Structure 1
Amino acid sequence: MNASQDLSQASLERQIDRVIQGLTELRHDGRFHEPNLDGSAGDYVSFDSWEWPQGVGLYGVVRLWQRSGDDALRQLLEGWYERQLERGLPPLNVNTTAPMLALSVLWAETREARWKAVLDGWADQLMATLPRTRSGGFQHDVSDKINDDELWDDTLFMVALFLAHYGRAAGREALVEEANLQFLLHTHYLSERESGLWFHGWTFDGHHNFARARWARGNSWISAGLLDFLDMADLPPALERYFTWVLRAQMETLIDYQCPSGAWRTLIDDPTAYEEMSATAAFGYAFLKGARLGYGNARWAQAGQRALAAVVSNIGADGQLANVSYGTRMGHTLDFYREIPLHPTAYGQSMALLCLVEALEH
């Protein structure tokens, strides 16, 4: 950590305010505006759009609101959902489920009836219609592409966390059980036994892990997601012990690949890949939270502090987190991941938020 870098509580709170401003001011510039399967224009950058980057971004905001109780954050969240519902929700898929997690957290805190019908309707449709692979795992279909018989590590953060959280909050045990199953299935097919790291995806068409990419952001969906899953799901003791082991196996290996800057590369084990900040922020959050909750030791806290310093050094004057790789499809070669362009995104902002807010606990 740079000794001149101010990571005091007051400084962290100023950074948090800037990151929220950077999140809400995100607008697409036309470079990444691919059409969805239903013919609509896909906007994966602008804050005021219903997609997975925005859903992850809202999760960072709602977790901050839970901690601070700031009414302005509640108004920001409620205003966003009100606008989206007035426009009409998009077709359901893995990625468009992501905004439901923050809404579930909002409803669990406020118990406002207007959100309950939306959450129940989406959960019911998800359970009944979301395509599954032959294993029963959710097929990673997204707004602009069907991915036949494929499992991706992103799915756990986008779908399973919502089922776990809302299932518990609403007393719907079937949703919680489904989340448990999805975490088990994805662990079986995507976790590398030798290292504890995770591959980006698995296909039943040929039975392989594509490029066997140990992709940083995919792994960060798992480290951050597993910690929140353990925190929110009220797991049976055997599952809790199992997923604690899965988490620790991954995290202990990640420490070995942390760069001198405190960051991780977009391909974790590839020294030629660029350093990537959305994954670094999520790993920082996971190491700090894992140490606080007793899953890890002082090494975890130190790794988290180094990651935090790297994140802070990449927050610009506009509040946007730099060096964030854009949304990443399934790669069939490792060069595919090395060449993903950099662009500020809502999930980058969210992961920075989660890391900064967790740092306030330390």
Structure 2
Amino acid sequence: MNAQESGLLLERVFERMVSANKDNDNDHMDFDEWEWPVGVALFALFKYYRFTDKQRYLDFMVSWFDRQLDKGLPPKNVNSVAPLLTLAHIYELTGNERYLATCREWADWIIDGMPRTQEGGLQHITIIADNEEQLWDDTLFMTVLFLAKMGEILDRNDYREEAEYQFLLHIKYLADPASGLWYHGWTFDGRHNFGKTLWARGNCWYTAGVVEYLEISGVSGAVQRHLRQTLETQVKQLVKLQEPDGMWHTLLADPASYVETSATAGFGFGILKGVRKGYLDASYFEAGKKAAEAVISHIGEDGTVAQVSYGTAIGMNDQHYKDIPICPTAYGQALTMMILTEAIEIG
């Protein structure tokens, strides 16, 4: 599939997402909601706009953000930060001071107001629960990438250092030293990794997030080396667990669990971008390419991405993750858009 075909497929996946029937209980997509799945999709759309210069997509994003700001943003939490990563990039394009003011307010909240765990971790607070003393791997992509971006925009070393620290702290408590794969979460209340489950989508937030962080932040020296080594250790194990068709199981080391598209898309994106940017050895390219082909095979004629697991809170055993239903979701569409941007790059 060439770059043009990948772009047309990305547009189909995007259009399916924005045209979803919000009243359909089996259709878990709502592009009017300021939340993390839409945040990931907007970031993928921004990447696509940069490739194509198609004005309609920039206009869509500007209109979407203006409408959201006019009606008022939701309460601040890990997941509601996610759309701001794209807003920060849109600010750089437009110079709209309203966008900058919003981004600055939320970045300051992350520094001064966001609940912390022991050792200063960003507590995984969501609209549903405070999750006291808990670190989740999603936080790096949903919140820390935005903070790192604002550090560059505003030349704020405190933002930069906090983003750097959060990556290091999450690696300390979530990366399994035996396998290199990641646990879903850690709690300082009892000091454990819950069920020690090696859940695929949770893992992919590091794979996809760290390549963005390395590019956004320009972090160097020993910290860059540590982040890249952590990525390579993870990917080395992922390659061993990848199915011949390019997919990964929702429980990475359990072939009895179902294969899952959103995680496969996140892994494929991170691997392909990691190779392209020189963060990973070129020998991993084929694994990323196989992942892209597998994800594409799960896109329906109408743009619906199949074989995606529903939202998943931390569980205390593997069965919790096996029991999560499969259904179309906004983040399934969004992560598919992310890997398609890399398919365009390798064209």
Tell whether the structures are fold-level matches, with TM greater than 0.5: yes
Determine the structure 1 residue equivalent to 2:55: 71
How far is 1:125 from its partner? 2.0
Report Cα offsets for 1:274-301 as digits up to 9, x if no partner.
1110111111111111111222334311
Residues 174 and 182, structure 2, Cα contact 8 Å, conserved in 1: yes
Identity %: 42
Amino acid at match of 1:357: T
Query: Separation in 2 of the partners of 1:26 and 1:198?
Result: 33
In the alignment, does 2:280 pair up with 1:286? no
Amino acid at match of 1:98: A
Determine the structure 2 residue equivalent to 1:12: 6
How far is 1:349 from its partner? 1.5
Determine the structure 2 residue equivalent to 1:120: 104
Q: Which runs of 4+ in 1 moved over 6 A?
A: none
Determine the structure 1 residue equivalent to 2:200: 216
How far is 1:27 from its partner? 3.8
Residues 26 and 346, structure 1, Cα contact 8 Å, conserved in 2: no
Determine the structure 2 residue equivalent to 1:40: none
Query: Separation in 2 of the partners of 1:298 and 1:127?
Result: 37
Residues 26 and 328, structure 2, Cα contact 8 Å, conserved in 1: no
Query: Separation in 2 of the partners of 1:337 and 1:87?
Result: 36
Amino acid at match of 1:23: M
How far is 1:30 from its partner? 5.9
Report Cα offsets for 1:221-269 as digits up to 9, x if no partner.
0001011111111113111111111111001110000012211111111
Amino acid at match of 2:252: I
Query: Separation in 2 of the partners of 1:210 and 1:249?
Result: 22
Higher helix share: 2
State the TM-score, normalizing by the size of structure 1: 0.92
In the alignment, does 2:235 pair up with 1:251? yes
In the alignment, does 2:9 pair up with 1:25? no
Q: Unaligned regions of 5+ residues in structure 2, if any?
A: none
- 1:245-324 alignment, distance < 5 Å: 245-324=229-308
- 1:80-99 alignment, distance < 5 Å: 80-99=64-83
Amino acid at match of 2:5: S
Query: Separation in 2 of the partners of 1:301 and 1:337?
Result: 29
How far is 1:32 from its partner? 8.3
Query: Separation in 1 of the partners of 2:199 and 2:279?
Result: 23
Determine the structure 1 residue equivalent to 2:127: 143
Which stretch of the first structure deviates more once superposed, 151-160 or 169-178?
169-178
Residues 17 and 29, structure 2, Cα contact 8 Å, conserved in 1: no
Q: SS state of the match for residue 202, structure 1?
A: strand
Larger relative contact order (CA 8 Å, sep ≥ 6): 2
Question: How many matched pairs?
Answer: 346
Q: Unaligned regions of 5+ residues in structure 1, if any?
A: 1-6, 34-43
Report Cα offsets for 1:153-194 as digits up to 9, x if no partner.
011011100001121122122111110010011000000111
Residues 27 and 47, structure 1, Cα contact 8 Å, conserved in 2: no
Query: Separation in 2 of the partners of 1:172 and 1:20?
Result: 34
Which stretch of the first structure deviates more once superposed, 288-297 or 250-259?
288-297
In the alignment, does 2:225 pair up with 1:231? no
Query: Separation in 2 of the partners of 1:332 and 1:27?
Result: 34
Determine the structure 2 residue equivalent to 1:361: 345
How far is 1:31 from its partner? 4.0
Amino acid at match of 1:85: L
Counterpart selection for 2:184 from 151, 176, 200 = 200
How far is 1:29 from its partner? 4.1
Relative to 1, partners in 2 of residues 1:51 and 1:32: Cα closer, same or farther, differing over 3 Å? farther
Aligned Cα root-mean-square deviation (Å): 1.5
In the alignment, does 2:40 pair up with 1:56? yes
Residues 283 and 304, structure 1, Cα contact 8 Å, conserved in 2: yes
State the TM-score, normalizing by the size of structure 2: 0.96
Which stretch of the first structure deviates more once superposed, 248-257 or 287-296?
287-296
Residues 57 and 349, structure 1, Cα contact 8 Å, conserved in 2: yes
Which stretch of the first structure deviates more once superposed, 91-100 or 21-30?
21-30
Amino acid at match of 1:21: E
